[in-house]
């Protein structure tokens, strides 16, 4: 479906503006699909992102600053997300002995189990993307990288 049909507007003449609108619309569409899966499991995509980062660093600990640097959504409050994951007993955190302001974070066994469950659940949305080939996904990803410079 063309973006103009999706948002019920006339043809958008400027290709750059049309593309930006299309990216925003598509990002919202993708977010909605992910939220349908993660919401009932009481997780946000930002919490999922933190757990994925921690799984990638396991068994090492990382700082909240480390998480912020690697998060997809740079506007997320990583400290608050860490607190929520800690309350869910999915991560361990310790105050650094050398710098009391620094918190070291590590995913625990329960966190590793839940990230596996969440990853499997999110893989089910792949069927929403069957209209693109792997080569087209690669091309789209490269174009988005190029757009960001």
pLDDT at 93 exceeding the cut of 80 = yes
For position 14, what pLDDT does the model report? Answer: 94
For position 51, what pLDDT does the model report? Answer: 96
- Whether 8 is in a domain gets the answer no
- Largest Cα–Cα distance of the chain, in whole Å? 61
Helix ranges, the chain (H)? 3-6, 15-38, 45-57, 64-70, 78-87, 109-123, 134-148
- Whether 13 is in a domain gets the answer no
pLDDT at 75 exceeding the cut of 90 = no
- Whether 5 is in a domain gets the answer no
| Domain CATH number, residue 132 | 1.10.10.10
- Whether 120 is in a domain gets the answer yes
Domain that holds residue 90: 43-148
pLDDT at 128 exceeding the cut of 80 = no
pLDDT band at 131 (very low <50, low <70, confident <90, very high): confident
Q: Whole-angstrom Cα distance, residue 149 to residue 9?
A: 30
Specify whether the CB–CB gap between 63 and 102 falls below 8 A.
Answer: yes
Environment class of 32 (CB within 10 Å of its CB; exposed 0-12, middle 13-18, buried 19+): exposed
Six-digit token string for 22: 């299309």
For position 110, what pLDDT does the model report? Answer: 97
Domain count along the chain: 1
- Whether 53 is in a domain gets the answer yes
**Comparison of pLDDT for 37 and 95, the residue scoring more:** 37
Average of per-residue pLDDT across 72-76:
85
Nearest to 88 by CA among 111, 54, 121: 111
- Whether 12 is in a domain gets the answer no
Average pLDDT, rounded, for the chain: 91
Q: Report pLDDT digits (tens) over 103-124.
A: 899 999 999 999 999 999 888 8
For position 102, what pLDDT does the model report? Answer: 80
Give residue for tokens 């899966």: 37
Nearest to 82 by CA among 91, 74, 73: 91
pLDDT at 95 exceeding the cut of 90 = no
């Amino acid at each position: 479906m063309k973006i103009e049909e999706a948002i019920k507007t006339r043809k958008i003449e400027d290709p750059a503006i049309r593309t930006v609108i299309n990216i925003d619309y598509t990002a919202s569409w993708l977010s909605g699909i992910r939220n349908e899966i993660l919401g009932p499991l009481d997780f946000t995509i930002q919490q999922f992102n933190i757990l994925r980062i921690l799984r990638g660093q396991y068994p090492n600990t990382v700082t909240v600053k480390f998480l912020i640097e690697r998060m997809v959504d740079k506007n997320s409050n990583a400290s608050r997300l860490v607190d929520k994951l800690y309350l869910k007993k999915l991560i361990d955190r310790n105050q650094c002995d050398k710098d009391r302001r620094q918190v070291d974070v590590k995913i625990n066994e329960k966190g590793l189990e839940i990230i596996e469950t969440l990853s499997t659940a999110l893989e089910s949305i792949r069927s929403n993307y069957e209209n693109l080939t792997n080569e087209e996904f690669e091309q789209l990803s490269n174009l988005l990288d190029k757009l960001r410079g």
